[in-house]
Amino acid sequence: MPPPSANETKPAGRGDEKLFLVIVLALAAIAGLGSWFAAGALKRHDDLREIQPDKPRRLENFSLTDSAGREVTRADFDRKILAVSFLFTSCSLTCPEVSKRMAEIQNLTATNDDVRLLSLTVDPRTDTPPVLAKWGARFGADTNRWRLLTGDKAQLHWLIGTSFLATETNNPFNSMPGNFAGTERIAVVDQHGNVRMFFDGLRVETPAAVVAEIEKLRKEK
C-alpha cells in the first residue's frame, strides 16, 4: 500500500492541534477557577482580624498538666489576663505559625506580671508533657508565664469546647482532633475569666493587636 500523501496527513495534524488547544484551554480554566477559589479563601481569611465569640464564653474550672509536669488549675490564673492558643504538635502548618505569634506576645508582655499565656493541646494522647516541653523550647516558651497544657482528653476537649471553640461535627473535611473550628485563633480572656475577643493567629500583626486588647483590659476595673 503506498504511503499517504502530504495532503492526507494534514487533517490529522489539524485534529491534534485542536485537541492540544482544547486541553490547554481546559487547564487554564481549571487553574483560573482554582485561583478564584484561593483568592476567595484568602479574602475571607484576610477579613478575620478581630473575631467576637460565637456566644458568651468564660474560662471554666480545670486541672491539667503543663510541659514541666506540674499540675495547673483555673485558680492559678485568678485576676490574670490570658492569651490562649490551641495546638497539636503533629501539625506542621498552622500550629507553628500560631506558636510564633504566641512567642511574640510573650516577648511583648514580658514586663506585665498580670498577663499569662496558655496553649491547650487538642491531641493529649500524643502531646505528653515531654513532647510539649520540646515544642515550647522550640519557640522559647518561659514555662512560668507560657503554660503548655495537656491531660485527660475528655476534660481537655470539654474545656476547649465549653470555654472557647465551636465544633464542626457535620464537616467531613475537618480532620482536627475534637472537630474544633478556629484552632488557629488566639483568645484573649479578661481578669474575670470572660473570653473577650479572638484574633487570627496566622496574621503577622496579631501580636500587636492582642497586646492592644490586653492594655485595654488592664485599664478596666
Q: Which of 69, 158, 80, 64 is nearest to 119 (CA)?
A: 64
pLDDT > 90 fraction of the chain, expressed in percent and rounded: 69
Integer Cα distance of 66 and 144 in angstroms: 10
Query: Looking at the domain that runs over 50-218, which CATH code has it been given?
Result: 3.40.30.10
Eight-state DSSP code of residue 112 = -
Quick one: average pLDDT of 150-168?
A: 95
Distance CA 64, CA 141 (A): 18
Distance CA 21, CA 16 (A): 9
pLDDT in tens, 105-150: 999 999 999 999 999 999 999 999 999 999 999 999 999 999 999 9
Distance of CA 132 to the CA centre of its chain: 17
Q: Report the Cα 192 to chain-centroid distance in Å.
A: 25
Match 475571607 to its residue by C-alpha cell: 44
Residue type, 6: A
Alpha carbons 161 and 18: distance in angstroms, whole number: 56
Say if CB 202 and CB 86 are below 8 A apart: no
**What pLDDT score was predicted for residue 168?**
75
- Domain ranges in the chain are 8-47, 50-218
The residue behind cell 491539667 is 64
Average pLDDT, the chain: 84
pLDDT tens by residue, 20-65:
555 655 555 444 444 443 444 344 444 447 899 999 999 999 999 9
Cell of 72: 495547673
